Amino acid sequence: MRAWFLLREAGIEFDEVRIPLDTDTFSDDIAGLSPTGRVPVLIHDGEQIWDSLAIAETVAELWPDSKLWPADPVTRAHARSVSAEMHSGFVVLREAMPMNCRAMGRKVALPDEVAADIDRVFEIWSDCHHRYGNSGKWLFGRFSVADAMYAPVVMRFRTYGINLPDSASVYPKRLLESSAIQEWLLESELETEVISQDETG
């Protein structure tokens, strides 16, 4: 989702190849496209770029006019920090709340470790709103790589009905209003594949 959303929201044209996950043919389908056997992968001028953060950094370099990182060095460092934190962290949150855009009203147990991850996400959103909210409703005012990195957790909170404190509610509302996100949600409703472990709960 992250790479797709980044490109679509930034208005960068690309050809999408959708490969259903958890199927008997997935390994063969992805083998010629991604050296890791995982998605996402971006192929640009014949070169493979894999991993969502590497793709984001590459896209930001290739399309500098899109301004996908904040111009101010201090703000840019902050955006990179929270992006990297989401990229490498929040493991227990991901495990407890499988990604499932088609589901609504799911409930899962929230042990202390999951609650701590949720609270940390709230803290990041609240801090960004306090520091950059006057510039716009994205995490750093205007749309950036950081928003692509946090889009899946917004979807998870939507699926599992996580209550948002007021200080952290502005950002997910803005993201869900995005025409790109609305397109993603509409297309997800048309998918017929089911990953069984993500359909429980």
Q: What is the pLDDT of residues 51-65, one digit of tens each?
A: 999 999 999 999 999
Q: Please tell me the class of the 66-186 domain.
A: mainly alpha
Q: Does the structure show a pLDDT above 70 at 191? A: no
Q: Residue 182, exposed/middle/buried by CB under 10 A (0-12, 13-18, 19+)?
A: exposed
Q: Does the structure show a pLDDT above 60 at 198? A: no
- Can you list the alpha helix ranges (DSSP code H) found in 14-72? 26-31, 52-62
Q: Which amino acid is at 187?
A: E
Does residue 11 sit in helix, strand or coil?
coil
Q: What is the pLDDT of residues 147-183, one digit of tens each?
A: 999 999 999 999 999 999 999 999 999 999 999 999 9
Q: What is the pLDDT of residues 84-93, one digit of tens each?
A: 999 999 999 9
pLDDT of residue 195: 54
Mean of pLDDT over the chain: 91
Architecture of domain 2-65: 3-Layer(aba) Sandwich (3.40)
Percentage of residues in the chain with pLDDT exceeding 70? Answer: 95
List, in order, residues 6 or more apart from 104 with CB less than 8 Å away: 158, 159, 161
Q: Which amino acid is at 86?
A: M
pLDDT of residue 34: 79
pLDDT of residue 201: 47
- Can you list the alpha helix ranges (DSSP code H) found in 44-111? 52-62, 73-88, 91-96
Q: Boundaries of CATH 3.40.30.10 in the chain?
A: 2-65
Q: Boundaries of CATH 1.20.1050.10 in the chain?
A: 66-186
